[in-house]
Structure 1
Amino acid sequence: NIRIAWAYWADRQSASRVADFISALWVFFEVRGSYAPAIALYGDAARKFTRSQPDTVCAAAELQAHQAWFTALIGMPNEGLALAQQSVETLKRYAQDISVETLCGVNINAIFLNRNEVVVATGEEMLASAERSGGDWQRGWALIWWSYALLMKQEIGQAIQSAEESLAIFERLRNPFGWSVASGIILGSISMAIGDITAAKDYFLRGLDAAKEIDYLRLLQISYDNLGTIALLEKDVDAAEQNFFNSLRISHQCGQTREMLASLRDFASVYMGRGDLVNALQLLSVVLSHPVSEQNSLNRPERLRDEAEKLRVQIEAQLDPARYQTAWETGCRRQIGELVEQILN
């Protein structure tokens, strides 16, 4: 049993033995959507590495960098970014060759915080690390993050080129984990950014199919959300609602408050598409009053609060003031958990 072996070697502060499991467990927890257990596992192991030898200190830093990845996914990117950056600085002090995977802990937190300058700088470090390693998987994974950085810089042509190279690498490796991200997040998002809805839908569907092969919950969640957005653009409100429902169910299962708020915003769009402005506004009031709405979700370029506010303004212009005020106050009295349970049941 891998967890028994992990606990055994962590108790003995065996850096080399624990290092054998770090990446495999990261993929396992990421695919299964087990974020809180991952944080506990990596955090507990890091705290056991108390010796001052360089290999022990660096092992603790690696563990914390992986812990930081999952910290981002439960809606705590400020804490996650600080932890990841501290870990990377520790590894640099010991002249360690920092892996692409380790640097991911910095980037995913920076994305949720809209720290574009950090995403770009870390993306460059990832490419350099992949070049030194010479590994195809490392290059494919680094290119995914570099494509995202290029998209942020609005260098669309280069972003497409990098993303297509990444997708080709993972398809050649027959690695659905990698190609689900390259297609279902990066190439789909780039296509949406340039207004090519047909291409975006194709990429999202390809990402969805790859994610289904390994039951990769977060990619399923993101793919359903994106397909719901496209269905709204196609004026297919029923299809949008079903896709948003599928995404919300996964967010609820994985305990992701930020993504559940994003789904409430999406359902508000569905209600607006059906002319139900009162219920739409009630959902938006919950989103706008929640502190996590200051963050953005991984597949959207804006903060949740900014997106929800745009919808609220549209509703305010259409509802008479008395109905607007009543709906807003009713929504403010409701809790996110209550609303999510109501939608899912």
Structure 2
Amino acid sequence: MSSKRNVLIYGASGYTGKLVAESLAQRNIPFYMAGRNQTKLEAARKVVEERFGAPIDAELLVTSNATEELLPLLENVDVLINVSGPFMQLGWPIVEACLQANCHYLDTTGEQDWTIAIQEKYGAAFAAKNLLLSPANSFMWQAGALAAEVVLETKGVDSLDIIYQVDNAQPSVASTKSFLRMQGNPDTQFYLEEGEYKSWPNDKAYTVNLPHQSLPKLAIPWGGACEPVWFKMDERVRNCSVLTAFGDEIINNVILAIQTYNERSQGMTQEEKEQLTNQMGGEMTTSEPAKDNHNRFRSVIVCHGQGNQVTTTFSLSLWAPYTFTGEICAESAKRILNGQLKKVGFQSAAKAFGHHELLEFFHEQGFCNLPTKAAQ
């Protein structure tokens, strides 16, 4: 791996940006911390150094997200990690800059419509340049993609039913705005049915049953997820749905917020609707949460697989979802720099680097379990 500073975090002063920076520092990867505000960047670097326990090899860059401003900064950068959302509102010029600068693009979005949009506009162009375009390089929605790839190893499985269950969920401000923007749109929260996108209603919760808990839980599409996007282009998969259970109190509050949004947004333009969800998201989550820890912030991603003659289930236990987001971004960057990229263009991390390779690495780091066969 080169010692050059060839990784850039855009939006590095935010909650997720600091986690990505800490994970890069743990891998001894020099990087840039980029964003709009010098004071916030300096404060973020200080937080990361306090967590890391030593100075970090990070250079601060003050820049907007404009393509023309980013291009000179990306001349010697191989990997850009975008953590600045809502991504549909802010991400377009950043992806364009990466394409023009021949730079791999990762982001931490949870926004299904953004993932679909950049696949359609940029997927082929990135592939033609042997570049990776990997949105949702984060707990949501890579954990489900990893679990699904394990389930799809069972011959005959063509349908995926995925549930994220998160203990003591603590959404960040940016995440709340991003997901509320998607949850508020009744036409772009998709599941996959017979290879085609179908829309979930935006104001309905579902009762789900988890194999590891006695009581049923409430769950919502939470924007639709990105697994249906990954697997729409996979000939093995006909059906794919994803629901998320954060805890019944949070789910009920989200449904109430969406019902309010549906009433208030009547007659609004799309821009006005997004301003409204930004406002509501800011009111729902008013401060940055503390860093998650492995004892309190656990998650289980349950993936059921079904075919004509077979059913199977894999439950992926994974702690500290936000910390894992920083880890998978940093590990993806490291593997790109080390020449371990398996597939280019629009790809999930599971496809880009291999699901068994990632699961085995994160198991060794204490983040997750392994499939039974792999554990043997």
Q: What TM-score, normalized by structure 1, do the two folds share?
A: 0.28
Q: Which has the higher contact order (CA 8 A, sep 6+)?
A: 2
Q: What TM-score, normalized by structure 2, do the two folds share?
A: 0.27
Query: Which one has a larger percent strand, Structure 1 or Structure 2?
Result: 2
Larger radius of gyration: 1
